[in-house]
Amino acid sequence: MTIGERIRSARIGAGMSQRDLAGEMGLSAMAISKYENGEVIPRSGLLIQMSEILGVNVDYFFRSISVNLSEPQYRCRKPLKKKEANQVHAKVQEWLERHLEIERILGEEKILMLPSKETCRIASLDGIEDAARRVRDEWSLGLDPIENVMDVLEQHGIRVGVIDAPDTFDALTFYYDDNTPVIAVNNDTPGDRQRFNLAHELGHLLLQVEGGVDEEAAAHRFAAAFLVPKEMAFRELGQGRRNISPREFYLLKHKWGMSMSAWLHRAAELGIISKSTAERLWTLFNQNKWREREPGVPLPPERPTHMKLMVLRALSEKKISTSRAQELLGGEQPGEQCVESF
């Protein structure tokens, strides 16, 4: 990317128009257009001013790595406006460049370790239960709750990023080199929904759907089966239940990291409760607006640790400076969240 292209990308990521940026800098929109088109290269003082306004480190404009993303697959509660989609795209691109840059500095090559296509080939929704179990087996996850879904995905070569995005955005999946999958999720999302979104996107990456099975429904079923295998759902809830207390769902939410609503849906799809019981419980959820905001203490969101560990390693080995580490972490001070523990 040229400096002009980076100015444009940072501006879009900040959700600003050329006129907006020009107004903040005391310039004309024409001047910003010339900078972005490469007709004029801004002075260092202007780049510093831009970096502060656009929320990027000034080193961003001179970053050597740039990536082109494939067409992303979005998971949103409402369709994103074009401006919002462009903003999300630019933020994901900026984060991924930082991720690839620290890998280059350390000389680390992340090996992709996805299950075979045959493992995830399904011709019916019921077959997804077995596919999810096979994925857990291949990844040696057992049947217990997954402590950190992000870490599991990163350990198997999937890049996972967290970005600030509109409330309606949940996640997106794409490939940055036609081979390596990347999942980005919303920073401002409760942990249970975030984990389900990650598992849902994993379903889209892995499942080989046949026989006219709806891909979205398949990914949804895979997410639930991956987070809570059916054997464990039966063990936790039993079978042939005539009623389930919302308090049970709440406890299971915090044990398994899956929302109360997803647990209710899981109980219904596995036949633990009847259709009429499920409808009665959904009515209760709707009356209390629990589908919008679940009761009690929310599950904290996960944070990817792999990239931060790489930056801290490079800093400890003096391969990068503290300011460079801060730039690679997107402005976060290295160790700022844990310094009080020492």
Complete DSSP assignment for 150-178: HHHHHHTT-EEEEE---TTEEEEEEESSS
Is residue 341 very low, low, confident or very high in pLDDT (cuts 50, 70, 90)?
Answer: very low
313: containing domain: 306-341
Q: Which of 37, 62, 87 is the last residue of a domain?
A: 62
What's the pLDDT score for residue 335?
A: 64
Q: Which of 35, 62, 89 is the last residue of a domain?
A: 62
Q: Which residue has the higher pLDDT, 220 or 108?
A: 220
Domain count, the chain: 2
**CATH number for position 21:** 1.10.260.40
What's the pLDDT score for residue 142?
A: 96
Give the mean model confidence (pLDDT) for residues 54-70: 77
Residue 75 pLDDT > 80: no
Is residue 337 very low, low, confident or very high in pLDDT (cuts 50, 70, 90)?
Answer: very low
Please say whether the beta carbons of 219 and 207 come within 8 A: yes
Can you name the residues that pair with 185 across neighbouring β-strands? 162, 171
Asked whether residue 330 is domain-assigned, the answer is yes
Give the mean model confidence (pLDDT) for residues 119-124: 88
Give the mean model confidence (pLDDT) for residues 186-200: 93
Residue (of 73, 125, 108, 100) closest to 1 by Cα position:
100
Asked whether residue 3 is domain-assigned, the answer is yes
Q: Which residue has the higher pLDDT, 141 or 93?
A: 141
Asked whether residue 67 is domain-assigned, the answer is no
Instruction: Name the pTM for this structure.
Output: 0.82
Residue 24 pLDDT > 70: yes
Is residue 314 very low, low, confident or very high in pLDDT (cuts 50, 70, 90)?
Answer: very high
